[in-house]
Chains A and B, each alone.
Chain A
């Protein structure tokens, strides 16, 4: 069999091309279905499959009213703002705390260092469900009374994201040349200065990778938002989950709502994909 060559000189592999084409299509079709349906009127979507609208785009009944209906009618707009307010601090705060801890684990010597680090590794596996009843008591009306507010969710996401963040950043920092930190010390820099001026800037790739993963995780979370946010503070994902239960009237808003909830993570994903891949392959794996 004669094989044509690609630009880089490797032989073309028709089998790979066909199989990957089919797989990529299979992986994309469900999302395309959602996108197409979200622009169809209720009657149109109930009367025929979304693919008929795609094959006969001019006879289909297109509309953007599902989006306006979901945004204002189903109040996804407030959920959207809440999601941003929840997700940004819940991404940045754990990194701040974890970066200092990772610095200590990498560049400092102290008693019980190994014990503390093994503890971090152990709690990475612990299911977060253990926290719910105790935390509902501690943060709720029986305790501090902040359950339902943003801060309780930030605290929870910070706590839950911390072990993985410390682990990832420590793994990355231990690949940095120790001599840089040593010479900073000789030049009279305190640890605080070494951290801000040298180690934190050098760790940006790992920080960006973890930030992407943590942002996606917080934005897409249902459980914590559902349990610890009151209804006017709740996130777009919880709003979407409530839409999913809708039957009949209002059902057409679901597809538009789902797409609204996907847009931000999608943008983050496409702009930071490079960092994310690099971070994941260097050990940022969420348990």
Chain B
């Protein structure tokens, strides 16, 4: 479809070249076709998807047929929408068309962002001053309730602990793996990196299932099938229900291990490419000046990859701030392991307290505000260096 239109368009342009005033006029046929096409697309797609929901028998109640049609409709529909939108804008008089076309390209995406992220942000702030089903305003009551709840403060405490431990360790491991892998042979480096990177493909839920086996507990006297307990008993200890031990936040730390395991590969990939980008002559110069390997690492390599370290740290930091799945599927916040995102989920769905839940999100939102400022500053600096 695309190929056809793009082949036809230059010929048309040549013809308009014969008529000096053509660009001043609206092309009514294309205008109408574009407009009608856009409306028909939206209407048709809306009906198709409603039909999937309400009349599955039209599609033989077959998941597979519905799935294929949904993929074609969703992907093709989005492409056709742009096609008709473009046709509509290009049919306008030249001056109007040139002014409008950036917005035609920009607005569909921007509108979705506005609908899915910007509007909800304000609505969430609004709901946080309303009651449990968002039907009446209750002032600051929700904030008073959550601030008086010890579980809220314990969750904040745990989040802070996660934020202090996980990003730093992920970056440290990432640097170690990247530096050491760089010293291996090409095959060794590739294999080692792939193995460390692999967990990146695994979901938080899948990772929790995997680590559930490591932390498994059997009654004393039975064979321990969990790796950690098997080692622990092998060393002469008693079997432990690891995720129930809140002494020294041990259970929270064991949950952090899961996230660290997932994220180190990501950190390693970015840091590795930064380390390979460090100019060889700076290292060579330091070596000639008599610096040892350790000194070279701290004084030459680290300063040159500082930017990447910060990027990785911030990205992992944001991931950790929103950590939910791991806690939800392992302990669901029991034994003092709760975190903000899990508390929010349970307030919203288990307790149906939309007011308190949205108030918790507002607290989270305030917590990320400095990061927004940082990201914008970072972007401005990069643009200045471009």
Contact = CB atoms under 8 A, between A and B. Distances in A.
Q: Contact residue range for chain B?
A: 35 or more
A27 interface: yes
Contact of A281 (B120, B227, B269): B269
Given A48-B225, A131-B117, A220-B206, A162 B109 contact: yes
B252 to A, nearest CB: 19
A162 B112 contact: yes
B53 A146 contact: yes
12 contacts: A19-B180, A20-B180, A30-B214, A33-B213, A110-B103, A118-B379, A146-B50, A159-B117, A195-B105, A216-B201, A240-B206, A244-B212
Given A33-B227, A133-B127, A160-B116, A104 B206 contact: no
Q: Which secondary structure dominates where chain A touches chain B?
A: helix
A72 interface: no
A37 to B, nearest CB: 6
Contacts of A176: none
Contacts of B227: 29-30, 33, 49, 51
Interface residues of A, number: 122
Nearest to A11: B183
A254 B372 CA distance: 40
B240 interface: no
A269 B201 contact: yes
A88 B67 CA distance: 10
B369 to A, nearest CB: 8
Nearest to B276: A281
Interface string A91-118: 0110011101101110011100100101
B266 A280 contact: yes
Contact of A126 (B176, B226, B265, B368): B368
A129 B74 contact: no
Nearest to B354: A133
Interface of A: 6-8, 10, 12-13, 15-17, 19-21, 23-24, 27-31, 33-34, 37, 45-51, 78, 81-82, 84-85, 88-89, 92-93, 96-98, 100-101, 103-105, 108-110, 113, 116, 118-135, 137, 146, 148-151, 154-156, 158-160, 162-163, 166, 174, 188-193, 195-197, 216, 219-223, 227, 237, 240-241, 244, 254-255, 257-258, 261-262, 265-266, 268-269, 273, 277, 280-281, 285-287
